[in-house]
A and B are shown apart, each in its own frame.
Chain A
Amino acid sequence: MMSPTALLLAVLLQVGAPTPPEAQAQEAFTIGKMLRCPVCQGMPIAESPSPMAQDMMARVRSMLAEGQSREAILGYFVERYGEWVLLEPTAKGINWGLWILPGVALVVGLGFVARTFKRQKPIESAAAPTAANASDTLKAIRDEVEL
């Protein structure tokens, strides 16, 4: 049984950086992953087997061959299908909430954690074991040793 490092080494030797495929095909794939297939359930057109998605991918490729930029191609589809066709909402207007709120939640949570620490009882008043909860305490000690 190899150690994790040796295993990872073996993997990395095989994996490495990808041999770059034709740059346009890669860009087409990247754009295709950002566009939603209109006839599938939330799948990007780059990954959907449906003929409509394939046709849309063909359109993306032909637009790239014409020299159009990523923004232009994405804009083309948004013009026709609406914002809905982008799998990632643009960061404007109300969509800011989507991008900002998780970070806000993390910060607010951190604040709660800090508050929990500050708002504690002083050490003196921590409960001392009494006869009544002796067995509880014994169990607690046993559990403590375990973990």
Chain B
Amino acid sequence: MKWRNVLWVAVFTLPVIFILALGFGHDPHEVPSVLPGKLAPNCQLTDLQGKPTSIVAYRGKPVVINFWSTWCVPCEAEHGVLQQAAQNFGERAQFLGVVYQDEAQNAERYLKRKGSTYPQLIDPSSRCAIDYGVAGVPESFFVDPNGIVADKHVGPIGPADLARAVNSMLPRGTP
């Protein structure tokens, strides 16, 4: 039994096994996030009442942009969290909702039921979603007062994470 040969086999094949093992723990479906650190794309959208809005208009304070849709189950879960946070932060931060891959009338009906404390924008042809590199809903983007994307959160967001993300964008010493 030539053990040296066995060693050669191990040397060549075990790295392949190792590489495959590297895959454990990574979600192959997750789309990478490259926007943080870059200038937030400016989307010109209209809200559900027909009023035109642009993201750039809110420069000067932190902005939370939340992409959601009525057919998305986790979005329903975080809806209340976002509404509450918007009320808590009041004038200090601006919350915006962007309706993704959905009809305006669906969104209107939904919001009539659940209420909304901040502007909800409709995104025809997913122009804004593509601009932000959105791959699914819900996704939330945190834009600092200078218009730079500070962070991106994929999936439904909890109150603690939300508060932390917004607070980190507020200037020091703000109550």
Residues of A within 8 A of B (CB): 38-39, 51-52, 55-56, 58-59, 77-82, 84
Q: A39 contacts which of B35, B125, B127, B135 (Cβ < 8 Å)?
A: B135
B118-136 vs A, CB cutoff 8 Å, 1 = contact: the mask equals: 0000000111011111111
Bound complex: CA A51 to CA B133 (Å): 15
Bound complex: CA A39 to CA B41 (Å): 21
Q: A84 contacts which of B32, B38, B132, B134 (Cβ < 8 Å)?
A: B32
Q: Does B34 reach chain A (CB closer than 8 Å)?
A: yes
Q: Contact check, B101 vs A84: say whether CB atoms are below 8 A apart.
A: no
B150-172 vs A, CB cutoff 8 Å, 1 = contact: the mask equals: 00000000000000000000000
Q: Shortest Cβ distance from A78 into chain B, in angstroms?
A: 8
Q: Contact check, B125 vs A80: say whether CB atoms are below 8 A apart.
A: no
Q: Contact check, A82 vs B32: say whether CB atoms are below 8 A apart.
A: yes
Q: Contact check, A81 vs B126: say whether CB atoms are below 8 A apart.
A: no
Known pairs A52-B126, A55-B127, A82-B32 / 10 extra A-B pairs, C-beta < 8 Å: A39-B135, A51-B101, A52-B129, A55-B101, A55-B125, A58-B125, A77-B130, A80-B131, A80-B132, A81-B34
Bound complex: CA A44 to CA B101 (Å): 19
Q: What is the interface residue range for chain B against chain A?
A: 10 to 19
Q: Does B31 reach chain A (CB closer than 8 Å)?
A: yes
Contact of A56 with B130 at beta-carbon distance under 8 Å, contacts A81-B31, A84-B32 already known:
yes
Contacts of A56 in B (CB 8 A): 126, 130
Q: Shortest Cβ distance from A49 into chain B, in angstroms?
A: 13
Give the interface centre of B33, B132, B135 by most chain A CB atoms within 10 Å. B135
Contacts of B130 in A (CB 8 A): 55-56, 59, 77, 80
Q: Contact check, A38 vs B135: say whether CB atoms are below 8 A apart.
A: yes
Contacts of A58 in B (CB 8 A): 125
Bound complex: CA A81 to CA B35 (Å): 8
Contacts of A51 in B (CB 8 A): 101, 126
B30-49 vs A, CB cutoff 8 Å, 1 = contact: the mask equals: 01111100100100000000
Bound complex: CA A38 to CA B101 (Å): 14
Give the interface centre of B101, B130, B135 by most chain A CB atoms within 10 Å. B130
Q: Shortest Cβ distance from B19 into chain A, in angstroms?
A: 12
Can you list 19 pairs linking A and B with CB atoms under 8 Å apart?
A: A39-B135, A51-B101, A52-B126, A55-B127, A56-B126, A59-B125, A59-B127, A77-B130, A79-B38, A80-B34, A80-B35, A80-B41, A80-B130, A80-B133, A81-B31, A81-B32, A81-B34, A81-B135, A84-B31
Q: Which 9 A-B residue pairings sit nearest by Cβ, starting from the closest?
A: A80-B133, A38-B135, A55-B126, A82-B34, A82-B32, A81-B133, A55-B125, A38-B31, A84-B32
Q: Shortest Cβ distance from A105 into chain B, in angstroms?
A: 13
